[in-house]
Amino acid sequence: MLRTFYLLPVTYNKIMSNLKDFLMGTQILKEIESPINGKIQVVRSLGLGTYIQVGGLTQSGGILEGVWRKPLKKVYQSLITNHQSLILGLGGGTAVKLVRKYWPEAEITGVDIDPVMVELGKKYLKFDDKKTKVIIGDARDFLSTSYHLPATKYDLILVDLYVGDEFPEKFENEEFLKLVLKLKTDSGVVIFNRLYWDEKRPLAMKFLKRLEKVFSKVEVVYPEANIMFICK
């Protein structure tokens, strides 16, 4: 007796999705829901290694390492002293590894509002820098004296505060930018990461105008599909 088996639509779609990932050399290692970022996926790729993505956009690891390497390499040539570094938008810790590469002795503080993202970085991206002080909280709140000593100044500040592909408005107004400036040492540098494709371009250029009102010098670097603003 010949039996006919039917695959449920959900099962069939899952099989086809896995087959597509296999043929493209990618594998979903972990998929989890976060109250902050929504669905987060940890992906392993033959070409890009392991990375964390939200809504198809890489948040840590993979291509993001190259995005940060270009401006940091440029800053390294001029930033001789880097005792204190601050990363607003720590994510899975990609930027920490690069800062540590160029300034091994720097004290690093990383701030991120999503503990899920940080834990995934520790588990899948080998983010195990014991010298990094990790603070789970809102970057805007951190800039107030409730999180740090008022006298603390940073030689290097990295700002990467995306939620998916959206840059919250509260992090791009002049009030926030002045708070960042206040925490920078006189010879320090601040680097902002913004997306720079399609409809993101005019938003990035509008942000540049705001930066130029607050910082005396803003240099632009274009890695991948991003634009990085180096502010002094």
Domains, in order of start, for the chain: 9-58 (no CATH), 61-231 (3.40.50.150)
Please list, residue by residue across 61-80, b when 16 or more beta carbons sit within 10 angstroms of its beta carbon and e when fewer do: bbbbbebbbebbebbbeebe
State the DSSP code for 77. T
Rounded Cα–Cα distance for residues 173 and 162 (Å): 15
Would you say 108 and 99 are in contact if contact means Cβ atoms under 8 Å apart? yes
Is the pTM higher than 0.75? The answer reads yes
Question: pLDDT per position in the chain (232 positions), as tens?
Answer: 555 444 555 454 555 555 455 545 789 999 999 999 999 999 999 889 999 999 989 999 999 999 999 999 999 988 888 999 999 999 999 999 999 999 999 999 999 999 999 999 999 999 999 899 999 999 999 998 655 555 689 999 999 999 999 999 999 999 999 999 999 999 999 999 999 999 999 999 999 999 999 999 999 999 989 999 999 9
Handedness of CA 193, 198, 202, 205 (dihedral sign): positive
